[in-house]
Copies of this chain bind each other. A is one copy, B any other.
């Protein structure tokens, strides 16, 4: 939860004059998102989200993120839509930060998702993968093999503080993934962070996907493996095969996975578990004690990584190979 940058009513009014959005009636900082400052605005028309991009987001990446939301929305995916200013630009500046106004998506993220929700998530992920086709900007995944090695180089020395033996285990995992990472699977725009808090539901239906600030170009099946990690484990660390089956069936009802993609799932899932393990480990070791962000436990992802390492066949994820 975080609001890093406060904004004054005068600066905000000046900013809003560049848009055609009605009169502001209220704005409140919201306690969601860890990378940016977000405000929920009420106006005499529709509610809006105002996002101020903080330092962890590369300003050069913003045209990719904002353009992608426009591209996906135009192709029928339900996601927030950046509003153009009167001069056509999607990006402005407020309180010294790059800032964008984005449509408000009704719906709630689920603290306790069930298998039927996992099915909807699988469907929506596949819809996003199809809707992403033809998007003209490219953004390589900074958090794939090379990025993991860079993160690991910064954290390896202190890894054994978190758990004894980690230094050796993770080094050999990186070696393994370097040797076995697939490079000939279908690729495209992936969400890369489709956790519970980035999927909204209204009633029983999925109402939309949000937070495209890790989106990039990578293997589509890698995105599926991220969702398996994010949605299909229970709090006690056990893989829930009913949820996995539902998520994979949902995905394949929209975009069937090839035999090669299915066969690669265990390796991809080891990679995505390692990716979240490493960023959490790095944050764990470097976040100052007084920071406003709640640190997430890296060991949750170490346990998931170990699960995937002992998977013998993709049938164990809930799908027939």
Query: CB within 8 A of A292: which of B1, B28, B106, B201?
Result: B1
Contact A9 B107 (CB under 8 A): no
CA distance A31 to B3 in the complex (A): 7
Chain B nearest CB: distance from A27 CB in Å? Answer: 6
User: Is the CB of A108 closer than 8 A to any CB of chain B?
Assistant: yes
Query: CB within 8 A of A111: which of B6, B24, B111?
Result: B6
Within 8 A of B (CB), among A8-51: 8-10, 24-32, 40, 42, 47
Within 8 A of B (CB), among A100-134: 104, 106-108, 110-112
Closest 5 pairs (CB-CB, A-B): A29-B31, A8-B111, A25-B106, A3-B31, A289-B290
- Taking CB atoms, residues of chain B closer than 8 Å to A108 are 9, 24, 26-27
Interface residues of A (CB under 8 A from B): 1-3, 6-10, 24-32, 40, 42, 47, 104, 106-108, 110-112, 200-202, 289-292, 294
Contact B202 A25 (CB under 8 A): yes
Chain B nearest CB: distance from A189 CB in Å? Answer: 26
- Taking CB atoms, residues of chain B closer than 8 Å to A27 are 108
Query: CB within 8 A of A106: which of B3, B9, B42, B201?
Result: B42
- Taking CB atoms, residues of chain B closer than 8 Å to A2 are 1, 31
- Taking CB atoms, residues of chain B closer than 8 Å to A112 are 8-10
- Taking CB atoms, residues of chain B closer than 8 Å to A31 are 1-3, 28-31
The CB with the most chain B CB atoms within 10 A, among A2, A202, A290, A294, is that of A290
The CB with the most chain B CB atoms within 10 A, among A6, A28, A291, is that of A28
Contact A25 B107 (CB under 8 A): yes
Query: CB within 8 A of A30: which of B24, B29, B106?
Result: B29
CA distance A111 to B7 in the complex (A): 8
- Taking CB atoms, residues of chain B closer than 8 Å to A3 are 1, 31
Contact B1 A29 (CB under 8 A): yes
Contact A32 B28 (CB under 8 A): yes
The CB with the most chain B CB atoms within 10 A, among A1, A9, A26, A42, is that of A26
CA distance A200 to B9 in the complex (A): 11
- Taking CB atoms, residues of chain B closer than 8 Å to A7 are 111
CA distance A42 to B41 in the complex (A): 12
Chain B nearest CB: distance from A181 CB in Å? Answer: 36
Task: Offer 16 A-B interface pairs, CB within 8 angstroms, sorted by A.
Answer: A1-B1, A7-B111, A8-B111, A9-B110, A9-B111, A9-B112, A25-B106, A26-B106, A26-B200, A29-B32, A30-B30, A30-B31, A31-B31, A40-B40, A289-B289, A290-B290
